Amino acid sequence: MRPILKLAFALKPHEVGKPVKSTYGWHVIEALTPITKQTTTKLSEVRAAIRQQLLQQKKQDEMRKWVDDTQKDFKSKTSFQVGYEPPATTNAATTPPSK
């Protein structure tokens, strides 16, 4: 077990551990609450929440695709009066990397 985790799980509530170094720098850890035993949630208890989250992600992906496609379709059909053209924006998800 990594030293930082070993220290964190060895502390009693409200006890402050000695400084420990990780790849991100030095840390001082204080245990705010007692360690609770690890539990596993049954799939039947979270199935609806997972389904809802996946459905929401799918809706967002479809909406993003529709917006991108619509923008591409209307790009050549849209013109702006001089001085009113919006600034060019780049979408990292749809813009191919430059070489």
Digit-coded pLDDT (tens) for 24-74: 999 999 999 998 888 999 999 999 999 999 999 999 999 999 999 999 998
Q: What is the reported pLDDT for 75? A: 85
Q: Are 11 and 31 contacting, i.e. CB atoms less than 8 angstroms apart?
A: yes
Least Cα distance to 18 among 6, 27, 9, 10 occurs for 27
Residue 27 is inside which H or E element, if any?
A: strand 25-27
What does the domain layout of the chain look like in residue ranges? 1-33, 43-72
Q: Say if residue 1's pLDDT is above 80.
A: no
* pLDDT interval class at 85 (50, 70, 90): confident
